[in-house]
Structure 1
Amino acid sequence: MALVGIAFLGLLCGCRHEMYDQPKSDPLEKSDFFKNGAASRPLVSGTVARGHLEADQAFYRGMIGTNLVTEFPMPITKQVLERGRERYEIYCSVCHARTGDGNGMIPQRGFPVPPSYHIDRLRDAPVGHFYDVITRGYGVMYSYASRVEPADRWAIAAYIRALQLSHNSRLENVPPADRAKLEGQNQ
């Protein structure tokens, strides 16, 4: 029994936070060590940052300051829309449906129905809104930030805009050359 007590005391003595509680200066803290009063040295000129270089707020946050962006921070090409459709069908269509009406397979099984992209509130929403919702989630929708890269989030937002534009479009609004192609598909 005495041996167990000695072993227990030995273990207790080993549980200290010496490395945690060591004297140190945190970055940007004041210190008397350097002449300029800072605890850390200034970066050497020409230093290249490493890691999370997300300086373009519009691209990486969908916002500038506290305002959602109203225009895409990148050119929207056919390839971007195709990538957006592909990513949308993987991540979004299960709830929002392929048409964007909110009647996907998940809501059909009893989960909350997401809003249709074709309601006025979302048709009038800035494009940054869709990027922000994909990034941070909204309501019962969780964040896709760890699953969908920023460029793909913008591609999905562009595809959502394409869904919205195509929802109430009429054949008369299609250019004549494209109209002939569409009419040929219906035969």
Structure 2
Amino acid sequence: MRRRFFVLATILLFTGCDDMNHQPRYDSYEKSSLFGDGKALQAPPEGTVARDDLQNASALADRPPMSAGLLQRGRMEFGIYCTPCHDAAGYGNGTVPARGFPHPPSFHIDRLRQAPSRYFVEVISKGHGVMYSYADRVSPRDRWAIAAYIRALQLSQGADIAGLPPEDQAQLKRAGS
């Protein structure tokens, strides 16, 4: 008798929990009588700030000081997020454009050499042309690191060999032979 009671109680318990799977809900753009405007999707209240927005805004406003660590971080992040389209040297000949997608501009054109570093941070944050925003993937500090690394790429590709120390010039000549 006791066993039947437990079996019956268990069956009733599990059937009672099934209501959790079939709760009334609204899809985002569905009509709703719950709100006065008849929409299920509501705008956030005035003055609402998304989590971490204030912290991210201050990190974007303040350019971190240049350091070897910042450049190293920029190189790593550039390799992860930028190289597929822009290639390792920044000429816009990555594997993605090689498969038929539009070529991004080279970082070595005059327009981008003259652009302030903040321009690169804003493009990473908001996207530009066919490039979508990387704001959800790349932290504000890492956006500055990538911008610093782009500047290093621009310097490296446009460097005058005569401005190098004699030992570096000799090493380049040996590598070119």
Residue identity matched to 1:155: A
How far apart, in 2, do the equivalents of 1:27 and 1:143 lie? 25
How far apart, in 1, do the equivalents of 2:101 and 2:56 lie? 37
Among 39, 53, 64, the residue aligned to 1:74: 64
Among 116, 125, 130, the residue aligned to 2:115: 125
Aligned length: 133
2:156 matched to which residue of 1? 166
- Which structure 1 residue ranges, 5 or more long, are not aligned? 1-10, 29-49, 62-71
SS at match of 2:85: helix
Q: Does 1:180 align with 2:167?
A: yes
How far apart, in 2, do the equivalents of 1:86 and 1:55 lie? 21
How far apart, in 1, do the equivalents of 2:95 and 2:56 lie? 38
- Which structure 2 residue ranges, 5 or more long, are not aligned? 1-23, 25-31, 37-44
How far apart, in 1, do the equivalents of 2:139 and 2:118 lie? 15
The 1:106–1:132 alpha-carbon spacing in structure 2 relative to 1, beyond 3 Å, is same
How far apart, in 1, do the equivalents of 2:71 and 2:56 lie? 25
TM-score by length of 2: 0.65
How far apart, in 2, do the equivalents of 1:156 and 1:87 lie? 6
Contact 2:84–2:94, Cα closer than 8 Å, also in 1: yes
How far apart, in 2, do the equivalents of 1:116 and 1:98 lie? 11
How far apart, in 2, do the equivalents of 1:27 and 1:184 lie? 63
How far apart, in 2, do the equivalents of 1:153 and 1:56 lie? 12
Q: Does 1:103 align with 2:93?
A: yes
Structure 1 residues 14-33: Cα deviation after superposition (integer angstroms, max 9, x where no partner)? x863xx56xxxx778xxxxx
Cα displacement (A) at 1:182: 6.5
In proportion to residue count, which structure has more helix?
A: 2
Structure 1 residues 51-98: Cα deviation after superposition (integer angstroms, max 9, x where no partner)? 4333865x425xxxxxxxxxx721111111011011001000000000
TM-score by length of 1: 0.62
Q: Does 1:52 align with 2:67?
A: no
Correspondences of 1:32-43 after superposition (within 5 Å):
none
Identity within the alignment, %: 47
How far apart, in 2, do the equivalents of 1:162 and 1:101 lie? 14
Contact 2:56–2:140, Cα closer than 8 Å, also in 1: no
